[in-house]
Structure 1
Amino acid sequence: MTRTKVRAWIVGVIAILVSVVVFLVPFAFVVLQAAKTPDDASTLAFTWPKEWQFFPNLVAVLQSNDGLIWRAFLNSFVLTVGSVALMVILSAMAGYVLARKRSKWGPVVNFFVLAGLIVPPAVVPTIWVLQGVGLYKTMPGMILIETTFGLSFCILLFRAFFNTVPKELDEAAVLDGAGRVRLFFQVILPLLRPVIVTVIVVQSVFVFNDFAGPLYFLPGSDNATVQTTLYTFSGQNLSFYNLLFMDILLITIPPLVAYIFFNRQIVAGMTSGAIKG
């Protein structure tokens, strides 16, 4: 075995060990706590459960507060689907214009796109605006908030991907009589599948896991999302850590499944446009 192969083997082993420590150990801790009794889980010790209560804890979480977790999953699903759909459509169109059209306003638009990644959201002014337009504590208002938060990142991904799409395709479609709308939706959009999958998976996980947004802009038990249900089992005076970690485990499963099945598409979309432009 050559020195290069030995070095690659060592690096691979180190990467696996780091992944185990960073990802699998915390996940194992959550599973063990979710299977404990209330007294056993209150110590927060990384130990084997004295008495397995996994399925009773699961049933207790699913039935807590008249099935709040089911309503929260439905709200999170609606919020995620609506927000990500808007992100894909708006960012794809914006990225196409920024990549194809050169104008004196281009640097200004790019500045505001980058500012969306850097400038933190202002909670109080945003609430004031939502109250003014009658969208505070409503699902459409929360969808617009999540879309705005993720739009800058999505625009950068789409703009980079458009640098790999030849402009000759646009010219050929125009010569065949395609208008701007038909050109984009029938010619350009089908070519964006790798980056679209990346945006859908990454932003779906981000919106699904968002805690601060629904807490500030979508309060109330009727509007509860999966992240805000954590308050149900943890309070100032009393906490049921076994049920809390069971809730965390249930919330973790959908993003984990998404990353497992779409890992290659995520990498392909993130690296698109890295060579050109």
Structure 2
Amino acid sequence: MKRARTIAWIKGLVAIVVTAVVFLVPFAFVLLQAAKTPDDASNLTFSWPTHWQFFQNLRDVLATNDGLIWRAFANSAILTVGSVTIMVILAAMVGYVLQRKASRLNPVINFFVLAGLIVPPAVVPTIWLLQGVGLFKTMFGMILVEATFGLSFCILLFRAFVGTIPRELDEAAVLDGAGPIRLFFRVILPLLRPVIVTVIVVQAVAVFNDFAGPLYFLPGDENATVQLTLYQFQGQNLSFYNLLFMDILLITIPPLVAYIFFNRQIVAGLTSGAVKG
């Protein structure tokens, strides 16, 4: 018994050390670079700053390019909220129908859902399609693109979770006179709260951190997202690494806070579908 406790304690200690190396060391490196002068930061060494100018770097980043980062945070917030809202509503509906309603089309739909996870995004055809419908370089078009990219993963999560909900609830609601819309929004959707939280957090972080999507489909400073602001501080001839790492630090804070507060809900939502279905 004592030996088992010792082994468990050693495993826990190893897990803590590995976590510190993988997550805390890179974060500490970013934090130190963000507090250095331009000359010190250009060396890209893991060392203590010779002269601390953390708040000066922070002010410079917030004021660069007429405060572009403020507009970028607003654009990223709009993009994240809009796309995640579409993902949650559509994925919940599709997952419920696929799990509850047997149809000849289900294998075909499942094939396209899985294809959405496997097949890489086609940039040029997507740009051509957005131009054809007049949504290229628009926030609404970018919201649709992000929602489409994340929809397959969300559908799989919702479908697995719906499988854990007893069918008797559906039958009881129908006997009480509930139609399909009322059945879904008044009975099923409130029960999907754990997986909804998981989808919101996971996909919000993914959309917020997306770099390639806005770069291809939403060009222009007026449409810049937080990830594209990194271009401001790195060029072919001159790079301000202290400001670059300060920008990275600011971009890292929102996803980090989301993970700290919702990590248990994320794990619960990802594993709940494994019970049944």
Normalising to structure 2: TM-score of the pair?
0.99
Matches within 5 A, 1:62-81: 62-81=62-81
Gaps of 5+ in 1: none
- Deviation, 1:96, is 0.1
SS of corresponding position for 1:204: helix
Question: What corresponds to 2:14 in structure 1?
Answer: 14
Gaps of 5+ in 2: none
Residues 76-131 of structure 1 show CA distances to partners (whole Å, capped at 9, x for unaligned) of 00000000000000000000000001122211111110110010000000000000
Distance 2:273 2:35 in 1: 46
Question: What corresponds to 1:177 in structure 2?
Answer: 177
- Deviation, 1:236, is 1.1
Question: What corresponds to 1:226 in structure 2?
Answer: 226
Matches within 5 A, 1:35-114: 35-114=35-114
Residue identity matched to 2:253: I
Residues 145-190 of structure 1 show CA distances to partners (whole Å, capped at 9, x for unaligned) of 0000000000000000001000000000000000000000011000
**Identity across the alignment (%):** 80
SS of corresponding position for 1:227: helix
Distance 2:98 2:272 in 1: 16
Distance 2:29 2:96 in 1: 45
Matched, 1:131 2:131: yes
Distance 1:273 1:164 in 2: 7
Distance 1:207 1:98 in 2: 26
Matched, 1:33 2:10: no
Residues 47-102 of structure 1 show CA distances to partners (whole Å, capped at 9, x for unaligned) of 00000010000000000000000000000000000000000000000000000011
RMSD: 0.6
Question: What corresponds to 2:192 in structure 1?
Answer: 192
Matched, 1:256 2:256: yes
Residue identity matched to 1:92: A
Distance 1:109 1:3 in 2: 52
- Deviation, 1:4, is 1.7
- Deviation, 1:3, is 2.1
Residue identity matched to 1:200: I
Normalising to structure 1: TM-score of the pair?
0.99
Question: What corresponds to 1:160 in structure 2?
Answer: 160
Distance 1:266 1:258 in 2: 10
Distance 1:166 1:240 in 2: 58
- Deviation, 1:237, is 1.1
- After TM superposition, the structure 1 stretch with the greater mean CA deviation from structure 2, 104-113 or 82-91, is 104-113
The count of aligned residue pairs is 277
